[in-house]
Amino acid sequence: MVGHFPRLLAGAALAVFASGCVGTVPPPVSPAMLRVSRGATAQTLEAGRITLTTRCASCHRVYPVAAYSPARWAEIVEEMAERTKLDASQQAALLAYLTAAHATPPPAPNPAG
Amino acid sequence: MFHRLFRRPQILASALAGVLLATAGSASAGQRKFAYSYETLTAPVGSVEFENWVTWKHTSGDGRADQFDFRHEFEFGVTDRLQIGLSVADWRLTDTSTGSRATYRHSGVEVIYNLTNPTTDFIGSALYGELLIGEGVIELEGKLLLQKNFGPVTLVYNAIIEAEWEGKTLKHLDERSGEFAQTLGVSYQVNPNFNVGAELLHEVALPEWRAEGKSVVFAGPNASFRAGRFFATVAGLFRVTDHDEEPDVQTRLIFGVDF
């Protein structure tokens, strides 16, 4: 039993990680998101998304953008920016991404499945 | 026991520095969710974190022993993907039926390079390398770190290969050994300041790097807390395989603070 343990453990780990495609992922920057971004560029929104999935995610889960209103997101970002040492541009990009993603309706399901 | 410990000036200085640094100033700590596994995201650029580790291993029976391994380490975020750690001092306190003694083991450097993101990519990954040098020992360690985040759940897997050369001095390293290890961890975020989960540690000794040695498995719960800019992570692992000469239980506490 123990002799097989390395293979069992490695196999279990691979199986778990192979299911990674079902993880909760913040929506990627899209043309629809740009239309509601109040002038923010795609680069700015992408920078905000990267901040969300690296700086924020290093301490806690990534919450769905729909979990809070834009006003509440603004409060949260301001509160957390000091703790995570985000500079003004990073803070602005993060808030721009959260606001734009919140205002963007999720894509319709593909009828082809 | 403790008067012997405090005869060692380097150990005492290291301990005092740890206490002072850990209680001084303010910080913005990242939070380790696991005590025996590394996660794949690295520290932000420009950040400095100080971590204190203590690992207690208890062995019962004829070879009864309590072993405490201490580590004091600074971690620096160098780029968005690169983190460097400096281990100031690793030292050990051993308490057996024949007495107690404290020994300095080694100091060194570790590097973590993030490859992919555990939230947005199919799987998060990073590479880890460590070099430790002591009075008569050199250790090299490499790790493959994998991680996947599913909302409040974090899964990690580490594959570890370690090589060690030992001798009376660094010029006479006539003994060599190795180890392969794997860790698997799961953590659930109860709230942004508190995570609970479980960890599993599997170690395979590779004496002389040739034959496969003992294969030992430990498993148990973990928890991590954050209060402002400080964090603490603890795990208690119980041996679930035979090998009575190995520790019955081992517990690791990591206390960290960012500057």
**B258 contacts B76 by C-beta, under 8 angstroms:** no
ipTM above 0.85, yes or no: no
- What's the CA angle centered on A57, arms B141 and B129, to 5 degrees? 10
- Domain membership of residue A39 (yes or no) is yes
Q: Give the domain extent around A28.
A: 2-103
Give the nearest partner residue to B155 out of A9, A16, A60, using CB atoms.
A16
Q: Considering only CB atoms, which chain B residues are within 8 Å of A5?
A: 202, 215, 217
- Domain membership of residue A67 (yes or no) is yes
- Contact state of A20 with B41 under an 8 Å Cβ cutoff: no
- Domain membership of residue A53 (yes or no) is yes
- Please give the tally of structural domains in chain A: 1
B110 vs B151: CA distance, rounded Å: 29
- Contact state of A53 with B119 under an 8 Å Cβ cutoff: yes
- Contact state of A60 with B28 under an 8 Å Cβ cutoff: no
Q: What is the CA radius of gyration of chain A?
A: 18
**B242 contacts B249 by C-beta, under 8 angstroms:** no
CA B42 to chain centre: 16
- Domain membership of residue A80 (yes or no) is yes
- Domain membership of residue A54 (yes or no) is yes
**A94 contacts A48 by C-beta, under 8 angstroms:** yes
B227 vs B258: CA distance, rounded Å: 12
For the stretch A75-107, pLDDT in tens is 999 888 877 888 899 999 999 999 999 998 777
Q: Considering only CB atoms, which chain B residues are within 8 Å of A3?
A: 215
- Domain membership of residue A111 (yes or no) is no
Q: Which domains does chain B have, with CATH numbers?
A: 2-258 (2.40.160.40)
Q: Considering only CB atoms, which chain A residues are within 8 Å of B80?
A: 54
B137 vs B133: CA distance, rounded Å: 6
- Domain membership of residue A38 (yes or no) is yes
For the stretch B10-64, pLDDT in tens is 544 454 444 434 433 333 446 799 999 999 999 888 889 999 999 999 998 877 8
pLDDT over 70 (residue B150): yes
- Domain membership of residue A84 (yes or no) is yes
pLDDT over 60 (residue A21): no
Q: Considering only CB atoms, which chain A residues are within 8 Å of B155?
A: 16-17
